[in-house]
Structure 1
Amino acid sequence: MAPVPLSGEGRTPRPIDPGTRIGHVHLKVADLDRAIGFYCGVLGFELMQRYGSQAAFVSAGGYHHHIGLNTWESLGGAPPPRGSTGLFHTAILYPTRAALADALRRLIAAGIPLDGASDHGVSEALYLRDPDGNGVELYRDRPPEDWPTMPDGSLAMVTRALDLDGLLAEG
């Protein structure tokens, strides 16, 4: 497949409307009950609707759904092998550092290991896998006024180890 050209060679594309947001992610899972157990039972999402053993929709705060889970093409399936294309991870944004600390405590209580934990300067993030091997990032953004910048004023994202003990000490 040939690369998709920009809107006119040599021209800068017109940016997307800044109010645009990603509304939800829909994941293929092998076992719906197991996936609901993770997203609702461990992470704390609310089950909004379920279609038998085929699909479920979960949310935070009563939204129709932030995450869709389905077995339409994946019932009993295995995760994609390493080296294949697909979703790298779903990122779940927590509103505060205390809420992210609560998420970490839930993972510890459920015995779910982390793949990593990073301080990116602009955010703090926990990385893990759901029961189907889908990558999950749980993170919180720092306020923009606390973001690190380069001497020229541009954003300076970094990756360093996240202090998990410090995070757990959060209220």
Structure 2
Amino acid sequence: MTQTHPETRIGHVHLRVADLDRAIMFYRDVMGFDVMQQYGAQAAFLSAGGYHHHIGLNTWDSRGGQAPAPGTTGLYHVAFVYPDRRALAQILQNVLDAGVPLRGAADHGVSQAVYFNDPDGNGIEIYWDRAQTEWPRDASGQLKMVNTPLDLDALLAEAA
């Protein structure tokens, strides 16, 4: 079996949305991504830092549609990694200021993460990774991720 090259990465996510304008407003105004290109009311491409796109949004098969029902297959969530804890705190503050309800928050040992949904019901994770030297490991060196509560007040204190 051939292993995936260790420098392989996920390049972008493309989401079906019911209302393109609403989705653009969320990803631009709440999440802080820049609109790089838009194709009328059908599709838009957004990014951070001038990349061609990290997020594609389209209504090709979903205009006016509904979120998938619980218990169905599909995307669980898309995760956006921030460079440090302060950047995570700042985007979390934007999310809360926009009135987006949180679904959860956790310290996984390797990372700290916050979970919520976009307006179309797509799961969103925002997180930052600890340095690999700080990741929890057992005596044999095996990675031991955890799922402990994340102190959101302490995190938000770093947003200023």
**TM-score, normalised on structure 1?**
0.91
One-letter amino acid matched to 2:126: L
SS in 1 for 2:102: coil
Rounded Cα–Cα distance in structure 2 between residues aligned with 1:156 and 1:21: 22
Of residues 35, 38, 61, the one that matches 1:47 is 35
Summarize the alignment of residues 143-158 of structure 1 with structure 2, pairs less than 5 Å apart.
143-158=131-146
Unaligned runs of 5+ in 1: 1-12
Q: Which SS does the other structure have where 1:157 is aligned? A: coil
Deviation string 1:8-52 (CA, Å, 9 cap, x unpaired) is xxxxx2210011110000000000000001000101000000000
Identical aligned residues as a percent = 62
**Aligned partner of residue 65 in structure 1, secondary structure:** coil
Q: Which has the larger radius of gyration?
A: 1
The residue aligned with 1:36 is 24
Indicate the SS of the match to 2:154.
Answer: helix
State the match for 1:138 in structure 2.
Answer: 126
- Give the aligned CA root-mean-square deviation in angstroms: 0.7
Consecutive unaligned residues in structure 2, runs of 5 or more: none
How many residues of Structure 1 are paired with residues of Structure 2 in the alignment?
Answer: 159
Please say if 1:73 is aligned against 2:61: yes
TM-score by length of 2: 0.98
**Inter-partner Cα distance in structure 2 for 1:18 and 1:118:** 27
Alpha-carbon distance in 1 for matches of 2:78, 2:113: 12
Shift >3 Å, 4+ stretches: none
